[in-house]
Amino acid sequence: MANMSLADARKILESPSDFTKQEVKNAKEKISDASKTVQASKGALMKKKKDDNVTVVSIGVGTMKKSDAKKMAKAQMADGGMAYGKKHMYSAGGSVTMNPGLKALKKASPEAFNNITGN
């Protein structure tokens, strides 16, 4: 009975003499339990719950003032300064600082520092 569909149960009950007594009994149980089940997508059967919660997605369209829309706009990039000949921008502010390792390299070997940074 577990694998029997409602359609199979109906076929068995249309001609019960062609099937065993147990199959007829299982078909009757399936039909009587049909009111407690819900047909889901792809033919699966699910038990009904007393208060089925359904997920609902709604899309709304409306208007608002430009001033309100500007307040909701994402944060603008702030100027972070110049480093290695390039302008840097940061969304949360801040500034460009040189890596301590690069500072040490600049003191020890200016030629290697220039190869890395392009300055």
Percent over 90 (pLDDT), the chain: 2
Helix (H, G, I), strand (E, B) or coil at 80: strand
Q: How far is CA 31 from CA 11, 15, 44, 56, 107, in A?
A: 11, 15, 15, 31, 88
In this model, does residue 68 exceed pLDDT 90? no
pTM, two decimal places: 0.30
Task: Write out pLDDT tens, residues 35-59.
Answer: 555 555 455 555 555 666 667 676 7
d(CA 46, CA 6) in angstroms, rounded, equals 13
d(CA 6, CA 115) in angstroms, rounded, equals 77
Pairing of strands 86-90, 78-83: antiparallel
Residue 34: pLDDT band by 50, 70, 90 thresholds?
Answer: low
- Please report the pLDDT score of residue 108 as a whole number: 93
Identify the weakest region by mean pLDDT among 9-13, 15-19, 85-89: 85-89
Percent over 70 (pLDDT), the chain: 68
Residues facing 82 on adjacent strands: 87
Inter-residue contact 19 to 13 (CB < 8 Å): no
d(CA 24, CA 14) in angstroms, rounded, equals 10
- Please report the pLDDT score of residue 88 as a whole number: 74
d(CA 68, CA 45) in angstroms, rounded, equals 49
- What is the residue extent of each domain of the chain? 6-47, 66-117
